[in-house]
A and B are shown apart, each in its own frame.
Chain A
Amino acid sequence: MGLIDKNLSLRNRRKLILGIFDDEDKLMDASSALVHEGVHIQDVYTPYPVHGLDRIIGVKRSNLSVVAFLCGLTGFSLACLMIWYMYVYDWPMNIGNKPERFTPSWIPIMFESTVLCTAYGMGFFFFIRNRLLHGIQPELLHDRQTDDTMVICIETGDGVNESKIVDIMRSKGATEVRERNGGVQTTI
């Protein structure tokens, strides 16, 4: 698993079945029905967070909090190093006759640096992992998937019963079911 999640990229997919929905309840019903039938849902694209969907399609807990902790630790260490270098090693200064070694006056800098590195680190890693960082070409499955349309994306392959998937999606209220083959979409 690299820095950029290749699993999230659609470029190398052989064949995808897309269920287009316009209602989150229908989407959730369809998703749980599909999962119930043992279908692996590649991903679901929604313009806003749909609560409970992550549990249904089995999204694993993100490691972002570990990243946050490590970034925070980095920020904390950087602050310690910086203060030590500037204030103790390179150019000791007498400010209000306060001691040079660790004092409460170091705390705000450590705190700020920790928070800064955590916030920026989390932000960057979040965008990189989601392929949303500036410069990464976005891959849209539907023109309105960032507006008011939701898309269930299933990769077909050996042992996947395509007609059953299409039936379930239709019966659960998909407005449209599409097939995506080599980047070309056709309605089925």
Chain B
Amino acid sequence: MAHGHHIEIVQEQFSVPAKAKTISIILAVVGLILTGVGFAFLGDSNSASHSKATAHTEATHEAAGHHDDAATHEVAGHEAAGHEMEHGNVQTEKFGPRIDIQSISHPPMVRFWASLLIIGYYLLLISLAALMFVAIQYIANAGWSAAVKRVPEAIYTFVPVAFLVVFAVILIAKNDLYHWAHYEHLGLKKGDAGFDHILAGKSGFLNTGMLLAFPTILAIIFVLIGRKLRSLSKAEDAADKGETRFFKKSIRWSAAFAVLYGFTLSVIVWLYIMSLDAHWFSTIFGVYNFATGWVSALTCIGLFVIYLKSQGYLKLVSDEHVHDLGKFMFAFSIFWTYIWISQYLLIWYAHIPEEMSYYQIRYENYKPYFLVNLVLNFITPFLVLMMRNAKRNRWVLAIAGTLMLVGHYNDIWLMVMPGVYGPGQNISILDIGLLLFFAGVFMYWVLIALTKMGLVAVNHPYIEESAHHDVGV
């Protein structure tokens, strides 16, 4: 080892450049302004269909209360449509038998909560996946990544923030966002008008207690493990050269995290997102969301590494590491597509109405989003990042990565919005505002987190190996 040129392992201390601070603050402020503008338009979009629209912010229960009737009617409508499906004539058009999907009206504020849920959930997926990335590097005894390890370690410090955003949204607006929560709120018994046997059957799992408690407990555990891993990393930096005690401890914590994350991420995904379409289910949905978060996290890691390189930091990181991150982005875009098409294909082929309702609305009422999803998340990375030179070119990587991040936002938007509203929504100025605001906050947060530790894991057992990392000619 360590042949030829010797590479000095030197600690680097990052301080956030003024320009980066300004840019993230500008992003956040522009985002806030756009959000404000979006608020001004909030009333308009729904006023036609919801004449009683009131601008309550906190009185969700009241809001839920006063459109009980509408919702009961809604549930009954769904039920009737279901019966027609089972017993009536089955139409076979291009998309098979149709379910009549109606637009659901909500108080205007719900549009804001839904938008906040999307961005909060997106960042939660990304930051949890960054923690998983660190854990996997430890478990696999990976050498190459030791030089970039501090970047995912900084990204996962965002877990508590993202979780709190999602949790606050759910606490405030769950009865509007989740029609099963609203249904639970109605407290219907068997035999009552509007009784929904599917939701009643799922209520053992799909209930408010579960929605609030389960992800919260897990998030707390994840945050604690994340902090533990960071403190071990910090202790390792301060230790003597060749001290592997902290590394071995990190492997154990990582293994614990990976198992927990692997088994429970799906459950969090079911509760937060899949239950928006509470009558529908997909067994691959957890993996699908994992793929979304994972590829987005890899992209974020890539973008931060490219940024730090451009500022003259991370001297140990060479084109080889950037190339490997590019490979990850390319490979997991294809993995995402594989999972995405698997879910689509099985539902398309099986032709079962209750499964198809998910795609019927998303394909027929949200076709542009559906196609943009495929273009940004599959075709772009596939064609742009296929060439070796593209993966070693930081500009190409940065542009492709940004497009992918936008694409995966679109993906999550498409999971959430039709589930909450039915047809008729569009990515609005409010969504863009919140996206920009949180992009700014996320950037700022991660950059600050990067200053809390040295940028180089100087005493990592594999830092030498990482410094000499070479993917070959």
Using CB atoms, name the residue of chain B closest to A55.
B473
Using CB atoms, name the residue of chain B closest to A27.
B3
A contact residues around B351 at 8 Å (CB): 96-97
Stretch at the interface among B75-83, B125-133, B249-257, B342-350: B342-350
Q: How far is the CA of A99 from the CA of B341 in the complex (A)?
A: 18
B contact residues around A59 at 8 Å (CB): 473
Contact call A60/B473, Cβ cutoff below 8 A: yes
Partner of A51, one of B94, B349, B388, B472: B472
| A28 in the interface (beta carbon within 8 A) | yes
Contact call A32/B4, Cβ cutoff below 8 A: yes
Q: How far is the CA of A96 from the CA of B97 in the complex (A)?
A: 12
Contact call A104/B344, Cβ cutoff below 8 A: yes
B214: min CB distance to chain A, Å: 34
Contact call A107/B472, Cβ cutoff below 8 A: no
The answer to whether residues A25 and B3 also contact, given A96-B349, A107-B345 and a CB cut-off of 8 A, is: yes
Contact call A51/B470, Cβ cutoff below 8 A: yes
Q: How far is the CA of A60 from the CA of B393 in the complex (A)?
A: 20
Q: How far is the CA of A160 from the CA of B96 in the complex (A)?
A: 77
Contact call B473/A51, Cβ cutoff below 8 A: no
Q: How far is the CA of A96 from the CA of B472 in the complex (A)?
A: 50
Q: How far is the CA of A59 from the CA of B3 in the complex (A)?
A: 18
Contact call A104/B341, Cβ cutoff below 8 A: yes
A161: min CB distance to chain B, Å: 24
Interface residues in A90-123 by Cβ distance below 8 A to B read 96-99, 104-105, 107-108
Q: How far is the CA of A52 from the CA of B468 in the complex (A)?
A: 9
The answer to whether residues A105 and B349 also contact, given A51-B468, A52-B4, A97-B92 and a CB cut-off of 8 A, is: yes
Contact call B388/A52, Cβ cutoff below 8 A: no
A contact residues around B92 at 8 Å (CB): 97
B contact residues around A60 at 8 Å (CB): 473
Q: How far is the CA of A65 from the CA of B4 in the complex (A)?
A: 29
Using CB atoms, name the residue of chain B closest to A60.
B473
B contact residues around A65 at 8 Å (CB): 388
Interface residues in B336-361 by Cβ distance below 8 A to A read 341, 344-345, 348-349, 351
B233: min CB distance to chain A, Å: 27
The answer to whether residues A52 and B3 also contact, given A60-B473, A65-B388, A96-B351 and a CB cut-off of 8 A, is: yes
Q: How far is the CA of A32 from the CA of B351 in the complex (A)?
A: 64
Q: How far is the CA of A117 from the CA of B266 in the complex (A)?
A: 35
Using CB atoms, name the residue of chain A closest to B470.
A51
Which secondary structure characterizes the binding site on chain A? helix
A contact residues around B94 at 8 Å (CB): 99
B contact residues around A97 at 8 Å (CB): 92, 96, 351
Using CB atoms, name the residue of chain B closest to A28.
B3
Partner of A108, one of B345, B468, B473: B345
Using CB atoms, name the residue of chain A closest to B338.
A111
Sorting the interface of chain A by its residue count into under 10, 10 to 19, 20 to 34 or 35 or more gives: 20 to 34
| A54 in the interface (beta carbon within 8 A) | yes
Contact call B3/A105, Cβ cutoff below 8 A: no
Using CB atoms, name the residue of chain A closest to B1.
A25
Partner of A107, one of B3, B341, B468, B470: B341
A 19-57 to B, binary, CB cutoff 8 A, 1 in contact else 0? 000001100110010000000000000000101101110
| A134 in the interface (beta carbon within 8 A) | no
A113: min CB distance to chain B, Å: 16
| A61 in the interface (beta carbon within 8 A) | yes
B contact residues around A25 at 8 Å (CB): 3
Interface residues in B159-199 by Cβ distance below 8 A to A read none
A contact residues around B349 at 8 Å (CB): 96, 98, 104-105
Of residues A52, A105, A108, which shows the largest number of chain B Cβ atoms within 10 Å of its Cβ?
A: A52
Interface residues in B86-132 by Cβ distance below 8 A to A read 92, 94, 96
A156: min CB distance to chain B, Å: 26
Contact call A54/B473, Cβ cutoff below 8 A: yes
A29: min CB distance to chain B, Å: 8
A contact residues around B470 at 8 Å (CB): 51-52, 55
Of residues B92, B96, B473, which shows the largest number of chain A Cβ atoms within 10 Å of its Cβ?
A: B473
Partner of B472, one of A32, A54, A104, A105: A54
Using CB atoms, name the residue of chain B closest to A25.
B3
Interface residues in B378-434 by Cβ distance below 8 A to A read 388
A1: min CB distance to chain B, Å: 18
A contact residues around B468 at 8 Å (CB): 51-52
B contact residues around A28 at 8 Å (CB): 3-4
B236: min CB distance to chain A, Å: 26
Q: How far is the CA of A85 from the CA of B339 in the complex (A)?
A: 28
B contact residues around A108 at 8 Å (CB): 345
Of residues A24, A61, A65, A104, which shows the largest number of chain B Cβ atoms within 10 Å of its Cβ?
A: A104
A contact residues around B388 at 8 Å (CB): 61, 65
* Residues on A facing B (Cβ under 8 Å): 24-25, 28-29, 32, 49, 51-52, 54-56, 59-62, 65, 96-99, 104-105, 107-108
* Residues on B facing A (Cβ under 8 Å): 3-4, 92, 94, 96, 341, 344-345, 348-349, 351, 388, 468, 470, 472-473
Q: Show 26 A/B contacts (Cβ-Cβ < 8 Å), sorted by A.
A: A24-B3, A28-B4, A29-B3, A29-B4, A51-B468, A51-B470, A51-B472, A52-B3, A52-B468, A54-B472, A55-B470, A55-B473, A59-B473, A60-B473, A61-B473, A62-B473, A96-B349, A97-B92, A97-B96, A97-B351, A98-B349, A104-B345, A105-B348, A105-B349, A107-B341, A108-B345
Other A-B contacts than A97-B96, A104-B345, A105-B345, 6 sampled, CB-CB below 8 A, are: A51-B470, A52-B4, A55-B473, A59-B473, A98-B349, A107-B345
Considering the complex of A and B, which 7 residue pairs feature the smallest CB-CB distances, nearest first? A54-B473, A28-B3, A51-B470, A61-B473, A104-B345, A25-B3, A104-B348
